[in-house]
Structure 1
Amino acid sequence: MLKAVATRARRAGLLCVLGVAFVVSPVVGHARNSPSTDGSLTPIALAELPPQGRATYALIREGGPFPYEKDATVFGNRERLLPAQQRGYYREYTVRTPGSRNRGARRIVCGGKQPRTPDACYYTSDHYASFRKIVE
């Protein structure tokens, strides 16, 4: 009887470890593999963004006003998933998440000298773990 209990406990422990591995591995791999092998990012059409993303993008092009204090602040690109640029090149904007009490995880990050006419914008739905280049 004691041997059967020990065997069940080992199996349960193994299943728990495997379960965590399956849950965590796609997230970790996704963050590392966000840029493609040629250095570009997977594109997303503006029309494919959620409605809140399209609204944020329109506000960026209009120059605001933005609903969150952190909007239009410098994005540091610490994750180094976006093309390397000088500090101050990228700015971040919140994409509202329905039902979220805070800013949520969705952002648009744009780069360029003119905020209303950025050189490129990127969408993240997972708080900077991955990015997709927005194409019009």
Structure 2
Amino acid sequence: MTLGRRLRRTLLALVLAPLLALTGLAACGGGSSGGDAGASGPSAPRTGVRQSSGTPKARGAIREVPASSLPAEAQRTLKLIAAGGPFPYRKDGTTFGNRERRLPAEPNGYYREYTVPTPGSGDRGARRVIAGKGGERYYTQDHYRSFVRVTGG
């Protein structure tokens, strides 16, 4: 196996580990990919998981997960948001436009985005926390394709 191939496999493993962790939460009823329904179609919210209180323009149910179930980097980003910074990335705190309409519809400027560092990534990676002005927090590990709503501190 070449070095490039090993590196790709290692990076793939680093990216898939959080995905598998959240998928495991979905199997337990604690979270899922949120956003659009997959190939199996939409599913009803699981027991104990509430839908977002947003407008119907947000596609699909957004599952809730405790902050403690997120990757350590996401938990650190949440703490930085609560403390008001300092933020390590220039784009942290900029407006998130919700163009994909996967979050509840709100006026422009309502949501702000923050980078969640991805170990092994040479750039900002795909993980983000989106913060709403009402205090709600959403996490995406796949660059806005799906979200979970974060509960707790």
Q: Same fold (TM over 0.5)?
A: yes
- SS of the residue corresponding to residue 139 of structure 2 reads strand
**1:61 lines up with 2:82 in the alignment:** yes
One of 88, 91, 109 as aligned partner of 2:112: 91
Where structure 2 has 5 or more consecutive residues not aligned to the other structure, the ranges are 1-32, 46-50, 53-61
SS of match in other structure, 1:110: strand
1:120 equivalenced with 2:136 (yes/no): yes
> 2:4 — aligned with what?
none
State the superposition RMSD in angstroms. 2.2
- Alpha-carbon deviations, 1:94-126, whole Å to 9, x = none? 0000010000000000100xxxxx520000000
In structure 1, what is the equivalent of residue 11 of structure 2? Answer: none
CA-to-partner distance for each residue in 1:22-76, whole Å, 9 max, x for gaps?
xxxxxxx975228976853101110001000000000000000100000000000
The gaps in structure 1 that reach 5 residues or longer are 1-28, 113-117
Structure 1 pair 105/88, CA: closer, same or farther in 2 (3 Å)? same
Length, aligned pairs only: 103
**Structure 1 residues 72 and 101: alpha-carbon distance in aligned structure 2, compared to 1, 3 A threshold:** same
The 8 Å contact of residues 108 and 124 in structure 1, kept in 2 or not, is answered as yes
Larger Rg: 1
Higher normalized helix content (fraction of residues): 1
| Counterpart secondary structure, 1:32 | coil
Q: 1:71 to 1:36 in 2, by over 3 A?
A: farther
Task: Map 1:1-136 to 2 at 5 A.
Answer: 31-33=35-37, 40=52, 41-112=62-133, 118-136=134-152
Percentage of identical aligned residues: 50
Q: Is the 8 A contact 2:34 2:147 kept in 1?
A: no
**Corresponding residue SS for 1:83:** coil
